[in-house]
Structure 1
């Protein structure tokens, strides 16, 4: 399988966030499979992930910050995305939606997306995943069926991005197999026939 360009979106900005180590693990798994991977972290973007003026609503794109233009280009050139999201109040965290909403749906359109969700409780953020599907769909992304759910996330990852839980490792392998399949299939279809108008 050819290497894919995959973006991993981290959906948390909280101090002491567990998602940073979860995202590192996702990145490591993908890199071990020889994919070109980049982490999109709201804390390293120019606006800390907050929407002030989405790119598509700016009157003059020449006045848009360079980080917005660069990130938008990365989204448009990606073959697939993976969302790493916690569950906040039984829903998606505002950092994730705010960060992704800064870029036009046309940039995301016709790309597969996988969901990795986590929480400190026993449900592993599955309610956030259920909110993520319609949100991602409205951006034009195609969410793959497999979800990697991480309940009681504390202690399951170390600071180097290694997973210490065999069940999570097995589920992550299944999710990566699926996003690779969808990423390759859709990319090949786009190359052959373009996208619907």
Structure 2
């Protein structure tokens, strides 16, 4: 069986962030599956311009290529003021057709709310981009002693990845059979 290419997107670029650790954890869980090839896409590794340029920069083209490569996505996002970070929205907007007819799951983190408000905002954005969002996700409460070291979170990640890989395979096959019409 051909492996599904899953991009784990770390949406925070803030210094001192925990998103890179959460992203590595998700990539490890997803990478342990025999049906996936995982690519970590850390927005902190991209030198995006502060303003949207007339022509795409090399960093923008590299990011869009990673989105095009993927059969599905796991978006790792913090919750900032009941939403997701501007760095993530900026990156999402650099691609368009590359998102179409692919699934996305979410791993969110924050205090008490576990980032659920950020995910609800992202669902709206991804709906506009013709992305199938997963019902199940993973929420991380940063007030926990060791927020990623729980069997409940690993089970939640497994359930989300089970849904994500089902949709990724179905949509990849559908896109191969005939191009998606947006």
Mark yes or no: TM-score above 0.5. yes
Instruction: Report if aligned partners of 1:18, 1:154 keep a CA contact under 8 Å in 2.
Output: no
8 Å CA contact 1:51–1:101 kept in 2: the answer is no
In the alignment, the residues of structure 1 paired with residue 143 and residue 11 of structure 2 have an alpha-carbon distance, to the nearest angstrom, of 15
Residue of structure 1 in register with 2:18 after alignment = 18
**Cα 1:68–1:83, aligned 2, differ >3 Å: closer, same or farther?**
same
Per-residue displacement from partner, 1:77-133 (whole Å, max 9, x unpaired)? Answer: 210011100100111111111122222x212111111111111x2210111111110
SS of the equivalent of 2:176 reads helix
Following the alignment from structure 2 to structure 1, what is the Cα–Cα distance between the partners of residues 131 and 50? 20
Tell whether 2:141 aligns with 1:151: yes
1:115 paired residue number: 106
Alignment of 1:37-76 (within 5 A): 37-47=38-48, 52-53=51-52, 58=55, 64-76=56-68
CA distance in 1, matches of 2:97, 2:50: 17
- Report how far residue 194 of structure 1 moved: 2.6
Q: How many Å separate the matches in 2 of 1:196 and 1:9?
A: 25
| Equivalent position of 1:172 in the other structure | 157
What secondary structure is seen at the aligned counterpart in 1 of 2:45? Answer: coil
SS of 1:43's partner is helix
Structure 1: 5+ residue runs without aligned partners?
Answer: 59-63, 158-162
Could you tell me the TM-score, scaled by structure 1's length?
0.83
Contact 1:124 1:153 survives alignment (8 Å): no
What runs of 5+ residues in structure 2 fail to find an aligned partner? none
CA shift, 1:53, in A, is: 2.4
How many equivalent residue pairs?
181
Q: Cα RMSD between the aligned structures?
A: 1.9
